[in-house]
Amino acid sequence: MPNVNQETGVRHPSEPDKTLRTFRAIDEGAGKNLGCLGMQLVPTTKDGALRVGDEITVLEVGEHHYQKLFPELNN
């Protein structure tokens, strides 16, 4: 998804994924080849919207575990 231009639908062969890998490799189990695009958030209310530039407050953090989505494809 990150390599697809959201306006044109055209997939770039390496960006921004290549750049993300240079400074967003935060999952120890994933190695250097996977960059992190985002983390899971859990809303505390049903209503509302999150927009670019909005401030968020982290109320709680838990232990993070890396899990491959399709391990059979990543050999």
Q: Where are the domains of the chain?
A: 1-75
pLDDT tens per residue across all 75 residues of the chain = 678 888 888 988 888 878 877 777 666 666 666 666 666 677 777 888 888 899 988 887 777 666 666 666 655
- In terms of pTM, does the model score above 0.85? no
The Cα-based distances of 2 to 18, 28, 35, 66 in angstroms read: 10, 21, 11, 19
